[in-house]
Structure 1
Amino acid sequence: MDKFIQVVAKNMSLYGVNPSIGRLYGVLYFAEEPMTLDDMRDALEMSKTSMSTGVRALSDMKMVEPAFKKGVRKDLYKSEEDWYKSFTTLFGSRWRHHTETNIEEAEETIQELESIASETDDETLKTRIESDIDRLRYAQNYYRWLMRFIHVVESGKIFEFVPKDMN
């Protein structure tokens, strides 16, 4: 299990998730029962503060949720067991943020280039600016398409095109 947990942690780093948070998710996923922060600390030999920060990050990504067990007063947590749901949430939030930033940066750059073009008499520079603006508009079209793709993933419609494997 330790080897697989390490692989999960490594794969989560592809989505910008710290490997220690990935290991925490793996430990929670394979836990028989919901775990307290103390249980997590003991399992991963990390500080309770690190466990708290990790749980909060995983909770924000909807990969961990609070749990209840009668007679237990400490906060308990369990992993989201639906990896399809976890992926769509994680993928969507990470990609949406970066894609929106890219769209905004392209628009700002276009505006700056248009300003430069309006202030120069250099025809070679104007031609180059027009070419660059065309490339930026192409990039914007791609990012708008990517936003639609992200929506398909986040909404779960992706599973109409690529069904879940439920074997």
Structure 2
Amino acid sequence: MSQNDEQARESVDQAKDIVIESLGETMDLYGVTRSVGNLYGTMYFEESMTLDEMREKLKMSKPSMSTGVKKLQEFDIVKQSFRRGSRKQTFVAEKDFFSFFSKFFTKKWEREVNLNLEAIKEAQPIFEEIMNSEDVSEEVRDEARELYEQVEYSKAYYYWLEQLVEGIRNGKIFEAFPPPEHNKNK
């Protein structure tokens, strides 16, 4: 390999590292550890990888790699793949960020909806009991009524978020906000 090729290869690796770091930081913003985000970023630039290849590239333990891959599989942004001639499991990362967005955020938002609607369902009867109790002061009943109404009002957001999730899953959001056409001349 010529010295120019060597320098160019180092520059390519540096550019990839910048993107990998950015993906790791972005996923950290959304509650996925930076190391798992870096794993996704590393896999993003590869066709497929085994756990050993991941471990070697990222200098992490095999159990950490396995845990990270499982986390990424939960979001459906990494899938197990087949590599002819290899008995080791290989994995491939989602390369299409529109698909990544759809899979990653719908799972997170669906969890938010379920957690909070379940909490409201559990909390509202408690508020109602206090609101209807003759054994507590009007002040406490008013507070319970205000809180009941506050969480009741928040349900509109969670129902809207459910619709957003469905709109992403069925692709209707992309009718309202179409992805830009990929222009190879840019």
TM-score by length of 2: 0.82
SS at match of 1:120: coil
Contact 1:12 1:18 survives alignment (8 Å): yes
In structure 2, the partner of 1:96 is 110
Give the RMSD, CA atoms, in angstroms.
Answer: 1.5
- Picking from 106, 126, 131, the partner of 1:112 is 126
1:10 CA displacement:
0.8
In structure 1, the partner of 2:32 is 17
1:54 CA displacement:
1.2
In structure 1, the partner of 2:95 is 81
Number of residue pairs aligned between Structure 1 and Structure 2: 166
C-alpha deviations, 1:1-21, integer Å up to 9, x for none? 111101101111222211111
**Residue 27 (structure 1) aligned with residue 42 (structure 2):** yes
C-alpha deviations, 1:10-58, integer Å up to 9, x for none? 1112222111111111111112x31111111110000111111111211
**Residue 161 (structure 1) aligned with residue 181 (structure 2):** no
In structure 1, the partner of 2:17 is 2
Separation of aligned partners in 1, 2:51 and 2:169? 30
Contact 1:25 1:58 survives alignment (8 Å): yes
Separation of aligned partners in 1, 2:133 and 2:89? 63
In structure 2, the partner of 1:62 is 76
Separation of aligned partners in 1, 2:171 and 2:36? 25
1:93 CA displacement:
0.7
What are the residue-to-residue correspondences of 1:142-157 with 2, within 5 Å? 142-157=157-172
Separation of aligned partners in 2, 1:125 and 1:34? 60
Higher RCO structure (Cα 8 Å, ≥6 apart): 1
Separation of aligned partners in 1, 2:134 and 2:62? 60
SS at match of 1:66: strand
**Rg bigger for which structure?**
2
Q: What is the identity, as a one-letter code, of the residue corresponding to 2:49? A: M
Q: Percent identity?
A: 36
Separation of aligned partners in 2, 1:143 and 1:20? 31
Contact 1:15 1:90 survives alignment (8 Å): no
What are the residue-to-residue correspondences of 1:35-46 with 2, within 5 Å? 35-46=49-60
Separation of aligned partners in 2, 1:96 and 1:139? 15
SS at match of 2:80: strand
C-alpha deviations, 1:69-106, integer Å up to 9, x for none? 22222111111112111111110111111221111212
SS at match of 2:132: helix
In structure 1, the partner of 2:140 is 125
